[in-house]
Structure 1
Amino acid sequence: MTLGLQQPPDKILCHSFPTTSGFTKLPTSSIDSFEQLSNTFLSHFVKRQRQRPADHLLTIRQGEKETLRSYVKYFTRETLEVDETDDKVQLTTFKAGLKSREFMVSLEKNPP
């Protein structure tokens, strides 16, 4: 019961992390804290993927028979591969790719 109220020590977090993440190729004793482990993980898996320019988002279009859920999922995944985009660019390119103009107008009138 008390574990839910307390943060586990860094040592426990660091030792349990490789078994749950698949991130097991770190040299022995190369990580000193959970924060360092987190930063290493992010730079390896997330930042490495961000290789596309922001204008890549303009190429993403919702397919004629594609559901909104599927489009949102795909668009979100693609934004993770783009370097340095802000929320306004992402929202603008997301709306540009929608097949439903009515929905796009609705988003403009009532922004998320």
Structure 2
Amino acid sequence: MKQTFLDHFMIQTDRLYTADNLYMLQQGKDEPLREYAAHFSHEYSRCPEIDDRAAFDAFKSGIRESNFRYMVHSNPWNTYAELMKQPTVHTKAEYFNSKRGSATFARNTFGDPLPTSVPTPALPQHSAQPPST
């Protein structure tokens, strides 16, 4: 009985994937980019008949809304290998930015410094002078 159970589930874990399976992979709401990239790479390695272009497109389609998604869609990376280097670079940058502490909050969505605040102009001082006679 034990062997029947293992045989049944071993078949499910060792199955090969198609491009459709890769397109179904989505980065979870709380899933770090690094984990999504590792999971995707693992699943892609189980897809022997899928070319890099299909994997490239499937990876891009599974990334949740984020700065990284914007970068991927606006940069000229053309190969799967180039694309898969980027999550590592991006997560390292996120890590080092998080170590900077509150300085990270002084940046907007695209990493540009926010404009410096303009000092509030001093209110005019009115003196009550008696009317001249």
Relative to the length of structure 1, the TM-score reads 0.51
**RMSD between aligned residues:** 1.7
- Matched with 1:103 is 68
Identity %: 31
Q: Say which of 34, 48, 51 aligns to 1:86.
A: 51
Within-5 A mapping of 1:1-112: 49=14, 51-110=16-75, 111=77, 112=82
Unaligned segments of structure 2, at least 5 residues:
1-13, 83-133
Deviations 1:24-78 (A, max 9, x none): xxxxxxxxxxxxxxxxxxxxxxxxx562222110110000000000000000000
Unaligned segments of structure 1, at least 5 residues:
1-48
Moved more, 83-92 or 62-71: 83-92
> Between Structure 1 and Structure 2, how many residues are aligned?
64
Relative to the length of structure 2, the TM-score reads 0.43
Deviations 1:4-37 (A, max 9, x none): xxxxxxxxxxxxxxxxxxxxxxxxxxxxxxxxxx
Deviation at 1:86, TM superposition (A): 1.1
Q: Contact conserved, 1:54 with 1:83, CA < 8 A, in 2?
A: no
